[in-house]
Chain A
Amino acid sequence: METPLFDFAAQKLEQHTGFSQLEARGTLRIAVKSAGLEPKSLTVAELRVVLEKLMPGELEQRGVKDTLSVCSAVLRDLEDAPIAESDSDSSNPDDIFRRLAKA
């Protein structure tokens, strides 16, 4: 189950690229996964990095022309919309393993 943040970003990607819903969600999912992240626990900061660093390459592979402006548009939409960020409830593995050495 993806977060509302993932759904929102996929919807915006669909709008700015002309992808179908399936294509937009699939492309975003691939980019998120290749960043070592999970769509079900994605945060705004993580999504921003994915859109800036990985998404241009993914879009280029799928024949999108102006990849940077598409990503910038999605990022702008992200900043303008109040999206409920997924729980970063300090129980994800990174947080636990970050804390362990500070016991």
Chain B
Amino acid sequence: MEVFEHIGSVASSLIYFALGSRLTLLGARTRSGAEWLIGLTFLSWGAYYALWFLSIGLHSQSALEFEIFITARAIDCLGMACFAFFPLLAFRRGSTWAKWLAASLAICVIAGIPGSSWAGDPKGVSPLTNFWWWLEWLGSVGSGVWIGVEGIHHYGITRARVRLGLCEPIVGHRYLLWGLAGVFWTLLDIIVIGQYVDFWATQTWSSALENLVGLLEIAALAMVWLVYFAPAAYQRKINAPAASA
């Protein structure tokens, strides 16, 4: 039973919908591109997980299952393009190299998903024969790596600001949580390669790898959850050293 994968998908859908709604509303209020982009990303991920889960339930009606799955991939494509631009607006606004990197990652995703359909692999399950799959994967893993690196890098430089009282500990901690989420998303993308190679060799999806993917989804989600919905006691614990200083 791929129990972790199913729990991970349902939890991901609900939490990403909730976060996406809140963040797009915040983006509308503050007119900040970063909030808009990550809000749209989370909404699209919520829709992707919901449709993906629905497609599993429609195994008996293969035509409808296919249409729903392709719709899910198209929505995911838009979300991943927004995701590629989030680190630019949140961490590297105005940087030329970051603009190029964000645009390149978005192009990889936008070209990769339709490209897979054009190459006869619309579901994107044949990485060994489909060049476009790798383009899509590169866009996805590149964004995850970038988020991870920026989060951990900013956590590192924020520690000095926290010590000097220039930044609240909880803000620095949020960078760390984002960095860890980026690490989990990256690991997830790497495990996915193993999944497809295993599928290619055995023509069955490995339960162990699906559970591992599910666990990584849950771990990334937990990090994102703590960024946005951290309980008061947790926030007090993080802020405690500064309060007592």
Q: Considering the complex, which residues of chain A in the window 68-103 have a beta carbon less than 8 Å from any beta carbon of chain B?
A: 90-91, 93-94, 96-103
Contact of B32 with A36 in the complex, beta carbons under 8 Å: no
Q: Do A100 and B35 form a contact, CB below 8 Å, given A35-B160, A35-B161, A36-B159? A: yes
Contact of B228 with A46 in the complex, beta carbons under 8 Å: no
Q: Considering the complex, which residues of chain B in the window 190-245 have a beta carbon less than 8 Å from any beta carbon of chain A?
A: 227-230
Contact of B154 with A103 in the complex, beta carbons under 8 Å: no
Q: Do A101 and B154 form a contact, CB below 8 Å, given A93-B90, A96-B34? A: no
Contact-residue size bin, chain A (C-beta under 8 Å from the other chain): 20 to 34
Give A30 Cβ to nearest chain B Cβ, in Å: 12
Q: Do A90 and B90 form a contact, CB below 8 Å, given A35-B166, A98-B168? A: no
Contact of A97 with B174 in the complex, beta carbons under 8 Å: yes
Most buried by A among B154, B161, B164, B174: B164
Contact of A101 with B34 in the complex, beta carbons under 8 Å: no
Interface of B is mostly: helix
Give B151 Cβ to nearest chain A Cβ, in Å: 10
Give A38-76 as 1s and 0s: 1 = Cβ < 8 Å from B's Cβ atoms. Answer: 000000011001100110000000000000000000000
Q: Which of A35, A99, A102 contacts B164 (CB 8 A)?
A: A35
Contact-residue size bin, chain B (C-beta under 8 Å from the other chain): 20 to 34
Q: Which of B35, B89, B178 contacts A99 (CB 8 A)?
A: B35
Contacts of A97 in B (CB 8 A): 90, 171, 174-175, 178, 227
Contact of A91 with B160 in the complex, beta carbons under 8 Å: no
Interface of A is mostly: helix
Contact of B164 with A93 in the complex, beta carbons under 8 Å: no
Contacts of B30 in A (CB 8 A): 90, 99
Give B150 Cβ to nearest chain A Cβ, in Å: 8
Contacts of B159 in A (CB 8 A): 36
Q: Does residue B59 face the partner (Cβ distance < 8 Å to A)? A: no
Q: Which residue of B lies closest to A91 (CB)?
A: B93
Q: Do A103 and B157 form a contact, CB below 8 Å, given A94-B167, A97-B175? A: no
Contact of A100 with B174 in the complex, beta carbons under 8 Å: yes
Q: Do A91 and B171 form a contact, CB below 8 Å, given A35-B164, A36-B158, A36-B161? A: no
Contact of B171 with A94 in the complex, beta carbons under 8 Å: yes
Q: Considering the complex, which residues of chain B in the window 138-165 have a beta carbon less than 8 Å from any beta carbon of chain A?
A: 154, 157-161, 164-165
Give B185 Cβ to nearest chain A Cβ, in Å: 17
Q: Does residue A21 face the partner (Cβ distance < 8 Å to B)? A: no
Q: Do A49 and B166 form a contact, CB below 8 Å, given A35-B160, A100-B23, A103-B22? A: yes
Q: Does residue B56 face the partner (Cβ distance < 8 Å to A)? A: no
Contact of A90 with B161 in the complex, beta carbons under 8 Å: no
Q: How far is the CA of A53 from the CA of B34 in the complex (A)?
A: 33
Q: Which residue of A lies closest to B173 (CB)?
A: A97
Q: Does residue B100 face the partner (Cβ distance < 8 Å to A)? A: no
Q: Which of B157, B164, B227 contacts A101 (CB 8 A)?
A: B227
Q: Do A90 and B166 form a contact, CB below 8 Å, given A100-B174, A100-B228? A: no
Q: Does residue B64 face the partner (Cβ distance < 8 Å to A)? A: no
Task: Give the A-binding residues of B (Cβ under 8 A).
Answer: 22-23, 25-26, 30, 32, 34-35, 89-91, 93, 154, 157-161, 164-168, 170-171, 174-175, 178, 227-230
Top 7 closest A-B pairs, CB basis? A36-B160, A103-B26, A103-B22, A36-B157, A36-B161, A97-B174, A96-B34
